[in-house]
Amino acid sequence: MLRIERSANGQVVFTLSGRIQTEDIEQFQQLLVVERPGQPVMFDLRDVTLVNQDAVTFLADCEAKGIKLESCPLHIRNWIDQEKRRNNRRQRQKRKTKWGTESPG
């Protein structure tokens, strides 16, 4: 079960605790949509205990959009970094294919 606490003092901080599962992502996205555009946002992940692949993909996308991930447990940080590398490889392969260069495979 995921618990989300929001606080704001110049930047919006979402303190997350528990497990982040696929079914939590939509609810969390709805919370993010109502934030003022350009408002700095940070996720405090100190008390997150477990994530699944969808949650890792979501966190990697959030970080790519400028959301800071603070106090991220090492096993989750490693998985996010792995997901980002995988996405970068996919983007490079798409560009190669788009420009007529064969992608390795």
Instruction: Please give the pLDDT value at position 101.
Output: 58
Task: Output the CA torsion sign for 15, 16, 22, 26.
Answer: negative
**What is the pTM assigned to this prediction?**
0.83
State the pLDDT at residue 91: 83
Indicate the CATH number of 2-98 among 3.30.565.10, 3.30.750.24, 1.10.3720.10, 3.40.50.10860. 3.30.750.24
**Residues 99, 103: Cα–Cα separation, whole Å:** 10
- Listed by start position, the domains of the chain span 2-98
Q: β-strands 12-20, 2-8: how paired? A: antiparallel
Quick: pLDDT tens for 40-55. 999 999 999 999 999 9
Beta-bridge partner residues of 43: 14, 69
| Residue 96 pLDDT exceeds 90 | no
